[in-house]
């Protein structure tokens, strides 16, 4: 669930454009076949990679979570001996994804957020940074 929400957040904060204007839901259906949030996770990740929103490292983190989840939720014959290790690997991948989306660099003792996220939050009226204080 975390990975799926990160794909949607990245899509939202990236502000995909079509013909130099923000992509509408109708545009999403025309280009992707469905609204972005209605797509399967594999397709969402491929779109983010194709538009260079994510790099190969993040694409692999998304894939690690998706394949692990699918094995345990959809395959009756899945061996559960690897479950603890797979859980740890999925958690670590989720941390990488969340940190990449929100940013967590530290500079002068302050958390520096992803600039794209900051712009998005300002547009939504939910961000009050130091410069706004």
Smallest CA-to-CA distance from 44 within 72, 68, 16, 18 is with: 16
- The Cα 100–Cα 54 span in angstroms is 9
pTM above 0.85, yes or no: no
Digit-coded pLDDT (tens) for 42-69: 999 999 999 999 999 999 999 999 998 8
Higher pLDDT among residues 91 and 128, named by residue: 91
* Domain extents in the chain: 2-102
């Amino acid at each position: 669930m975390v990975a799926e929400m990160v794909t949607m957040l990245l899509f939202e904060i990236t502000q995909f454009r079509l013909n130099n204007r923000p992509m509408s839901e109708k545009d999403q259906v025309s280009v992707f076949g469905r609204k972005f949030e209605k797509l399967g996770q594999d397709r969402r990740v491929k779109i983010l990679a194709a538009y260079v929103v994510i790099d190969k490292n993040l694409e692999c983190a998304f894939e690690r979570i998706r394949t692990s989840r699918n094995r345990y939720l959809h395959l009756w014959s899945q061996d559960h001996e690897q479950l603890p290790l797979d859980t740890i690997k999925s958690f670590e991948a989720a941390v990488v994804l969340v940190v990449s989306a929100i940013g967590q660099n530290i500079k002068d003792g302050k958390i520096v957020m992803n600039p794209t996220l900051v712009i998005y939050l300002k547009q939504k009226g939910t961000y009050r940074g130091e410069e706004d204080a």
